[in-house]
Amino acid sequence: MKSVYSKIYMYALYVFLYLPILVLIVFSFNQSKSRANWTGFTFHWYADLFRDERILTALLNTVIVAVCASVFATVLGTMAALGIHSMKKTGRAVLMGATYIPVINPEIIMGISLMILFRFFATHFHLQFGFATLILAHISFDVPYVIYNVLPKLRAMNPNLVEAAQDLGCNPRQAFFKAVIPEIMPGIFSGFLMAMTYSVDDFVVSYFTSGTRVEPLSVTIESMTRVKVSPKINALSAIIFVVISAIMVVRNILENRRLRRDIALSRAARKDGGRVK
């Protein structure tokens, strides 16, 4: 009986989470602008979407910011995770607590504080609001997610791996890139994808740090919905949802393949060890 209630709860939860998205996707193909009555199937709004220069420019801005911020955040987060992993317990706990602050901190506080910081630099060092401020702002909240994805891989890694690589002839640099990086690569890749997702999805921090020269997609959509929600927004949201879902599915498939391969290698190693004995 308990399992039946668990299944009912799980199905109800999925319906609650994904039914609004399904309705949005369905009405992105509606002939009329109505969001309540279905009048027929059409690709008209998708065609209009790809003819809208403002949306396409905002989409390009979002992709540029997300890619740049994710790459820098992945490099910085991986380096930070390596440093945190090598620290003593007390220092590691303090630094992990500080790293967790941007995750639990309300976005509006982060957005306003970054805006004030960038305004100070704009006044004294002629920093202009735009791509630079957006990328820096996105890096600031992307780095913790990379750290939290890389650290578990470092903890699971054999602590004697670097020493073994050096015994086989690698210098410290070669041991790092040929032994450590491949072991933690799934965590690095997951952190990169999570950083990319959060950058594309962000609105509040982008709103306060983008200025007037560069407009990311989330800010563009918000300004367009102040007047009236166009079906083009439905089409754009549907495309973003499908793309992000496809990325996460591919990531899970690759992770599962790697996990199955590691399990098979582990079983083969145990069998060989048993034969040697």
pLDDT of 275: 55
In the numeric block, which tokens belong to residue 82?
């390596």
What's the predicted TM-score (pTM) here?
0.82
**How does pLDDT run across 139-151, given as a tens digit for each residue?**
999 999 999 999 9
Domain ranges of the chain: 52-231
pLDDT of 218: 87
Q: How far is CA 233 from the centre of its chain?
A: 22
Q: Which of 100, 65, 46, 106 is nearest to 201 (CA)?
A: 65
**How does pLDDT run across 67-99, given as a tens digit for each residue?**
999 999 999 999 999 999 888 888 888 888 888
Residues written for the chain? 277
Fold of 52-231: MetI-like fold (1.10.3720)
Q: What does the pLDDT average to over 35-46?
A: 83
pLDDT of 276: 46
pLDDT at residue 190 above 70? yes
Q: Which amino acid is at 125?
A: F
Which single residue is written with the structure tokens 């991986």? 78
> For residues 48 and 60, what is the distance between their CA atoms, to the nearest angstrom?
17
Residues whose CB is less than 8 angstroms from the CB of residue 250 and which lie 6 or more positions away in sequence, other chains included: none
Residue 95's region, left for phi above 0, alpha for psi from -120 to 50, else beta, is alpha
In the numeric block, which tokens belong to residue 206?
């982008």
pLDDT at residue 239 above 80? yes
Q: What letter would DSSP give residue 31?
A: S
Position 62 confidence tier, pLDDT thresholds 50, 70, 90: very high
Q: What does the pLDDT average to over 20-41?
A: 83
Angle between helices 217-225 and 53-85 in degrees, nearest 10: 130
pLDDT at residue 277 above 70? no
% helix, strand, coil for the chain, step of 5: 80, 0, 20
Position 272 confidence tier, pLDDT thresholds 50, 70, 90: low
pLDDT of 101: 84
Alpha helices by DSSP H, the chain = 2-27, 44-49, 53-85, 89-104, 107-125, 131-156, 161-167, 172-175, 181-201, 204-209, 217-225, 231-276
Strand-pairing partners, residue 30, are 41
> For residues 54 and 151, what is the distance between their CA atoms, to the nearest angstrom?
40
Q: What would you measure as the largest C-alpha separation in the chain, in angstroms?
A: 76
Residue 193's region, left for phi above 0, alpha for psi from -120 to 50, else beta, is alpha
Residues whose CB is less than 8 angstroms from the CB of residue 220 and which lie 6 or more positions away in sequence, other chains included: 54, 55, 58
Q: CB–CB of 146/83 below 8 Å?
A: no
pLDDT at residue 11 above 80? yes
> For residues 181 and 62, what is the distance between their CA atoms, to the nearest angstrom?
29
Between 240 and 112, the more confident residue is 112
Q: Which amino acid is at 226?
A: R
Q: What is the mean pLDDT of the chain?
A: 85
pLDDT of 274: 53
**How does pLDDT run across 205-231, given as a tens digit for each residue?**
999 998 888 889 888 888 877 777 778
